[in-house]
């Protein structure tokens, strides 16, 4: 009789434990919250940028300063050097006020990309990212692959800096995130940028 009770209790414990492990479904809102808070997502390098307008001269293919870039100087976020003779931006140097908000990779040689007859964009790496949408979740009970769209996080910027980066000009980016279920919950294992 004692062995039967022990066996039944053991069976109930096993079913309860396996039920608990399977009772942690990964929903889209839950995946979004976990991924957005993970160091793997926030700290990995990718080729995404915030776009700021610059003046483009198609005849000599140079990019010059615009009011947005000058306002960044006036508000104490960066300084810039201009090539004498051409008026082209040579480099942008972040001040101590801006360094906590941007990644330094392109500070001294910001990329200038022509767009349209007289417009162009300078690109900045933002330090934080914001998930716009989780577009799909696949996998089994223990391992999931989460597809998502994200943008550089303008909300982490002070308002006077945020207005220099037109929201309608910003792009969203795709990523794929591998997650695994551990005893304490879901964790980000790997982030792939597409």
Integer angstrom CA distances of residue 80 from 93, 108, 150: 6, 9, 29
pLDDT tens, the chain, 194 aa long: 566 555 555 544 554 444 444 448 999 999 999 999 998 888 776 666 777 776 666 666 666 667 888 888 899 998 877 666 666 666 778 889 988 888 765 554 555 666 655 455 666 777 788 899 999 999 999 999 999 999 888 888 899 998 888 877 788 889 999 999 999 999 999 999 87
3-state secondary structure of 194: coil
DSSP assignment of 71-101, as one string? Answer: HHHHTTSEEEEE-TTT--EEEEEE-TTTTTT
What's the whole-model pTM score?
0.70
Return the number of other C-beta atoms located less than 10 Å from residue 1's C-beta: 5
């Amino acid at each position: 009789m004692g062995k039967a009770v022990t066996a039944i209790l053991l069976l109930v414990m096993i079913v309860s434990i396996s039920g608990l492990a399977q009772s942690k479904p990964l929903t889209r809102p839950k995946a979004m919250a976990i991924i957005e808070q993970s160091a793997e997502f926030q700290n990995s390098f990718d080729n995404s940028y915030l776009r700021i307008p610059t003046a483009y001269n198609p005849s000599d293919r140079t990019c010059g300063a615009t009011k947005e870039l000058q306002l960044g100087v006036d508000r104490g976020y960066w300084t810039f050097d201009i090539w004498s003779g051409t008026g082209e931006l040579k480099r942008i140097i972040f001040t101590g006020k801006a360094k906590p908000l941007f990644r330094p990779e392109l500070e001294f040689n910001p990329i200038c990309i022509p767009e349209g007859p007289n417009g162009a964009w300078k690109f900045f790496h933002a330090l934080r990212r914001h998930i716009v949408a989780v577009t799909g979740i696949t996998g089994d009970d223990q391992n999931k692959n989460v597809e998502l769209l994200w943008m550089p996080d303008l909300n982490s910027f002070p308002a006077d800096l945020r207005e220099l980066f037109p929201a309608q000009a910003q792009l969203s980016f795709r990523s794929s995130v591998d997650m695994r279920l551990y005893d304490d919950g879901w964790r980000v294992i790997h982030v792939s940028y597409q």
